């Protein structure tokens, strides 16, 4: 096959929840293997692929804080959850025969590298996948914001958000059968209509740094590759 990728450097954000597969907590081996295989395939096509993985399949700061935990501590637990997911993804990617490095915003350098932008770019240029872990390293942020930040820093030409839904809708397609899916949206529309694409911090970072975002259904095998080849799958959010 000689199909040409439409992008050079891409940041893929996966929520922690997609790692659960059909389960309701943790990591489903079949699911993470499939995601890793798709990521490795894209990398072999010559695309520089970086990833940010959330932690919602394990711990979310807001949820823990609701149970009474101090919010900053709860967010630290949430950030550590993203490190666990990142290590699992690194393992799954390397089992696919590709090379991968986890780079953490918090120093945990006996099990992964510290995040250093220039080093991250070097890994990407050498064809290694990079998984950015521990979010932004700060409480009160989300991994969507971390993804927008890293996409801006590495100068990604596309950010992808892999979710359980096949794009952005004007209302919840699970509750409203006539909900309409957007093919294209601006960041300002996403912000003012409160469409739940990402939190406002993440949207504003992408908007101000002119990073286009495509939201797609990560449960559709092959869609990641099709998007990389330029197919307009899901919803495109841009400036």
- Told to check if 139 binds ligand UDP by CB under 6 A, we report yes
Of 149, 13, 33, residue with least CA distance to 82: 13
Contact with ligand UDP (CB under 6 A) among 7, 132, 141, 216:
141
E runs forming strands in the chain: 9-14, 48-53, 100-104, 113-114, 129-133, 158-163, 184-186, 213-217, 235-238
Stretch that binds ligand UDP, among 37-45, 54-62, 155-163, 224-232 (CB under 6 A): 54-62
In order of 91, 112, 161, 169, the CA distances from 158 in angstroms are 25, 25, 10, 20
138 is in an annotated binding site: yes
Q: State both tokens at 219.
A: 């449960």
Stretch that binds ligand UDP, among 52-60, 86-94, 109-117, 203-211 (CB under 6 A): 52-60
Stretch that binds ligand UDP, among 116-124, 138-146, 182-190, 203-211 (CB under 6 A): 138-146
Q: Which is nearer to ligand UDP, 3 or 62 (CB)?
A: 62
Residues with Cβ within 8 Å of 153's Cβ and at least 6 positions away in sequence, in order, are: 117, 120
- Told to check if 113 binds ligand UDP by CB under 6 A, we report no
Q: How far apart are CA 104 and CA 134, in angstroms?
A: 5
Q: State both tokens at 172.
A: 């919840």
Contact with ligand UDP (CB under 6 A) among 42, 47, 54, 182:
54
Binding site as annotated, residues:
13-16, 55-56, 60, 75, 136-143, 163, 169, 172
Binding site as annotated, residues for UMP:
55, 75, 136-143
Binding site as annotated, residues for ATP:
13-16, 56, 60, 163, 169, 172
């Amino acid at each position: 096959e000689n199909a040409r990728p439409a992008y050079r450097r891409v940041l893929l954000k996966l929520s922690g929840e997609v790692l659960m597969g059909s389960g309701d907590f943790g990591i489903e081996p079949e699911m993470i293997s499939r995601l890793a295989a798709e990521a490795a395939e894209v990398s072999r096509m010559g695309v520089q692929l970086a990833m940010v993985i959330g932690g919602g399949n394990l711990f979310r700061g807001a949820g823990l804080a609701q149970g009474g935990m101090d919010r900053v501590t709860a967010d630290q637990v949430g950030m550590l959850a993203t490190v666990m997911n990142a290590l699992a993804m690194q393992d799954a990617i390397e089992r696919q025969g590709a090379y991968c490095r986890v780079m953490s915003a918090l120093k945990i350098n006996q099990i992964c590298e510290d995040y250093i932008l220039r080093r991250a770019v070097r890994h990407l240029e050498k064809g290694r996948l990079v998984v950015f872990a521990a979010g932004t390293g700060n409480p009160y942020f989300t991994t969507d914001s971390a993804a927008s930040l890293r996409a801006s820093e590495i100068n990604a030409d596309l950010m992808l958000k892999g979710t359980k839904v096949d794009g952005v809708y004007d209302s919840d397609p699970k509750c409203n059968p006539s909900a309409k899916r957007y093919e294209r949206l601006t960041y300002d529309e996403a912000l003012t209509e409160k469409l739940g694409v990402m939190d406002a911090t993440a949207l504003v970072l992408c908007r101000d740094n002119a990073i286009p975002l495509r939201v797609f259904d990560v449960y559709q095998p092959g869609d990641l590759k099709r998007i990389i080849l330029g197919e307009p799958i899901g919803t495109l959010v841009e400036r």
